[in-house]
Amino acid sequence: MIPKRALIRYSIASAIALSAVTVSAAGMPCSIRPKSGTPSHDVPGLAKVTRPQAEHSALASLGAPAGAVVREGELEVERGCLVYSFDIDLPGKSGIEEVMVDAGNGKTLSHSHETPRQEASERAHEATRNPR
């Protein structure tokens, strides 16, 4: 007979391992995954959260002080998920905070800090991918 404590530990460890596998296999845990080949003009109609709602969620997730500014934002499909991606300037901090918000439920999916050097590199990369 397995002791109750050991069984509980095993159950918790299994649940954690399973969730980690699910997330890594699927990319990000999101609520809207557009089908491959969805025309770009149909993508905005899939969002259930408005851009202002998503911006509010992104700023709130940072505990953003007065003076925080959303420099750029877009609705995009990232790693198979429909997300709003925002570049946010925080007062007194160099670089930007990049925050991705689920376009289906408004939850923050990721947050990363980009130094000015990383930001310049990303802009250069995007300019070569999307020449204007």
Residue span of the structural domain in which 93 resides? 31-129
Mean pLDDT of 29-47: 94
Together in a domain, 51 and 110: yes
Together in a domain, 26 and 71: no
Half-sphere exposure of 81 (CA within 13 A, CB side): 23
Together in a domain, 6 and 22: yes
- List the CATH number of the domain containing 78: 3.10.450.40
Each residue's pLDDT tens digit, 47-91: 999 999 999 999 999 998 889 999 999 999 999 999 999 999 999
Each residue's pLDDT tens digit, 82-107: 999 999 999 998 999 999 999 999 99
Cα torsion 28, 51, 106, 40: sign: negative
Q: What is the DSSP string of the chain?
A: ---HHHHHHHHHHHHHHHHHHHHHHHSS--S--PPTT--GGGGGGG--S-HHHHHHHHHHHHTPPTT-EEEEEEEEEETTEEEEEEEEE-TT-SSEEEEEEETTT--EEEEEEE-HHHHHHHHHHHHHHS--
Specify the pLDDT at position 123: 78
What is the tally of structural domains in the chain? Answer: 2
Q: Give the lowest-confidence range in 17-21, 50-54, 97-101, 111-115.
A: 17-21
pTM beyond 0.85: the answer is no
Higher confidence at residue 108 or residue 130?
Answer: 108
